[in-house]
Structure 1
Amino acid sequence: MKKILVTGANGQLGSELNVLSQNYSQFEWIFTDRTELDLCDLEKIASKLSNINPQFIINCAAHTAVDKAESEFELADVLNHQAVAIMAKWSEINGSKLIHISTDYVFDGTVATALDESVPTKPINVYGVTKLAGEKACLEENPTAIIVRTSWVYSSFGANFVKTMSRLMQERDSLNVVNDQIGSPTYAADLAQAIMTIITHDHWQSGIYNFSNEGEISWYEFALMIQEIGGFDCVINGIPSSGYPTPAKRPQYSLLDKTKIKKTFDVVVPDYKESLVRCIELLKRD
């Protein structure tokens, strides 16, 4: 029985893969967080991987606190870059297939068309810089690896925009939400399914792929849709990014073109609204 190792098991994507694993009992699943596989301990990563000896690695672990990364470059670089290089090298030497999760933040957000995988990268914050370094190291150390870039991830697990907005809309009379950053949300459950579609596909085709849900919206429009689906009674005001300064700059436009992943692996990409309905229904049940 082939083993699938999932790093970052307690994050949004790791948690969704854990739920989905019940549908893929042909694999032995190993879910690790920092207690079982500490990616900050670079010296021990390779030996830990050898002990587990997985045939597939899904690397969901990352330093994803975008604003905190601005003052934590070394930690972000260890998790998002150096640890990835070690995993990639181990997987190349040991014939293991690696799927590494990356981000739309490798782009500067100045191109106002859907971005395909060939668009030049130019990150504008530490998170994006370290994630891009991780991508490059991944493909240098293991040319057969697959990198999946995603954006605006949310889930019924963990902390994210959908859960925060749902809570605030019940606590406050009005909210201000940025209306000039454009992209598309990603329901982590859909990303988990896309990953398993790749793993169980007849052909393994290495390289970089984009995945997010369908739709082109701002954070403000996303908040309005959360309000509508959730039935929340709260006034939502759209404001420019300049009205909500953050330590890290964000790309203004980072809509991902999903043509390549659809054609290569027959991945189905749901519309963001139908996925948001599914997630909010789960949250209401909980």
Structure 2
Amino acid sequence: MRSDPVLVIGSTGKTGRRIVRRLAEQGYPVTGVSRRSDPPFVWEDPSTWRRALEGIHSVYISYFPDLAAPGATAAIEALTSTAVDAGVTRLVLLSGRGEANAERCERIVRASGASFTLLRASWFSQNFTEGHLLESVHQGVIALPAGDVHEPFVDVDDIADVAVAALTDDRHAGRLYELTGPRLLTFGQAAAEISAAARRKVDYVALSPDAFRTALTESVGPDYADLLTNLCVEVFDGRNASLGGGVLDALGRQPRDFGDFCRAAAASGVWQ
């Protein structure tokens, strides 16, 4: 059994649950917390934070709903202060590539006084299998306000592997890792690769931001629809149309290709 306790905030999310599983398999004492854990960790209720942080060496921070959300910077500043006061010595932040507010949160973590690693990730491949776009794949139409922008889709399993390394190995202290896949694809090309792997027709439709917001509002409400729309407008302007070397730098191997992700997803039956 390894001796340094690790806390994973957002342990039911795409990255969090993978990180908890990997740490447990490697023998680390790991605690995962979320809104539904016992005790709960609720971002909107700072009184729930201190108990989770007591006795913890390293913390993985995944902010919900997104670091682009109003109030995220204040929450990250308060959390880092509480964590350092509780004796936490290492912080690993999941950040968003190309997001101005995420970079503000990165600066807060840098200035916290704790050892840190910043994981600046691009669009998750698993958004097509575990996120709101899974239903879109089932319906055969992926509709986003992304035009023909190129995106270096990153596999969440790669993010989890880098996070575990950062949480457990001092060599990653003070590093910023740009986490992307190995290839740039438009969403139209991504839809074509999903189609080929799933053996079913999946089209991509480029929406205007207003049309996207309107379509989302009915299902997720106006506030979350505004957040997602504004985020898409920010990051789908071409700023992320480049590859990052974070996976190779952190792990010494290449990131997983989107085509390999698609073939594994199809074999799992998730798109059937």
TM-score band by shorter chain is 0.7 to 0.9
User: Are the counterparts in 2 of residues 210 and 256 from structure 1 also a CA contact under 8 Å?
Assistant: no
Aligned partner (choices 187, 202, 210) of residue 219 of structure 1? 187
Output the amino acid matched with 1:83. A
1:87 counterpart = 2:79: yes
Please state how far the C-alpha of 1:30 moved relative to its aligned partner: 0.6
Aligned partner (choices 147, 152, 155) of residue 118 of structure 2? 147
Output the amino acid matched with 2:53. L
> What residue in structure 2 maps to residue 34 of structure 1?
35
User: Are the counterparts in 1 of residues 24 and 30 from structure 2 also a CA contact under 8 Å?
Assistant: no
Identify if the C-alpha distance between structure 1 residues 65 and 103 changes in structure 2 by more than 3 Å, giving closer, same or farther. closer
Query: What secondary structure does 2:115 align onto?
Result: coil
1:198 counterpart = 2:166: yes
Total equivalences in the alignment? 245
Counterpart mapping for 1:137-176 below 5 A: 137-142=108-113, 144-155=115-126, 158-161=130-133, 163-169=134-140
Output the amino acid matched with 2:150. I
> What residue in structure 2 maps to residue 250 of structure 1?
234
Please state how far the C-alpha of 1:279 moved relative to its aligned partner: 3.1
For 2:18 and 2:188, the matched residues in 1 are separated by 26
Identify if the C-alpha distance between structure 1 residues 255 and 142 changes in structure 2 by more than 3 Å, giving closer, same or farther. farther
Identify if the C-alpha distance between structure 1 residues 281 and 179 changes in structure 2 by more than 3 Å, giving closer, same or farther. farther
Please state how far the C-alpha of 1:244 moved relative to its aligned partner: 4.6
Identify if the C-alpha distance between structure 1 residues 264 and 13 changes in structure 2 by more than 3 Å, giving closer, same or farther. closer
Deviations 1:67-108 (A, max 9, x none): xx5xxx3xxx1xx322322332344452521101010242xx
Aligned partner (choices 180, 196, 206) of residue 239 of structure 1? 206
Greater alpha carbon shift after TM alignment, 204-213 vs 223-232: 204-213
Deviations 1:227-269 (A, max 9, x none): 11111135x2553656854441232221354225523553542
1:183 counterpart = 2:151: yes
For 2:142 and 2:41, the matched residues in 1 are separated by 40
For 1:49 and 1:40, the matched residues in 2 are separated by 16
For 2:61 and 2:268, the matched residues in 1 are separated by 25
1:45 counterpart = 2:49: yes
Deviations 1:171-193 (A, max 9, x none): xxx66554423212122122111
> What residue in structure 2 maps to residue 276 of structure 1?
262
Alignment TM-score, normalising by the size of structure 1: 0.73
Alignment TM-score, normalising by the size of structure 2: 0.76
Aligned-residue RMSD, C-alpha: 3.0
Identify if the C-alpha distance between structure 1 residues 265 and 19 changes in structure 2 by more than 3 Å, giving closer, same or farther. closer
User: Are the counterparts in 2 of residues 145 and 206 from structure 1 also a CA contact under 8 Å?
Assistant: yes
For 1:48 and 1:243, the matched residues in 2 are separated by 40
1:58 counterpart = 2:60: yes
Please state how far the C-alpha of 1:197 moved relative to its aligned partner: 2.9
User: Are the counterparts in 1 of residues 180 and 246 from structure 2 also a CA contact under 8 Å?
Assistant: no
For 2:246 and 2:204, the matched residues in 1 are separated by 36
Output the amino acid matched with 2:115. T
Aligned partner (choices 92, 97, 108) of residue 104 of structure 1? 97
Deviations 1:11-64 (A, max 9, x none): 11112224434532x2011110024111211244234312xx222111123223
Aligned partner (choices 107, 114, 119) of residue 136 of structure 1? 107
> Larger RCO: Structure 1 or Structure 2 (Cα < 8 Å, ≥ 6 residues apart)?
1
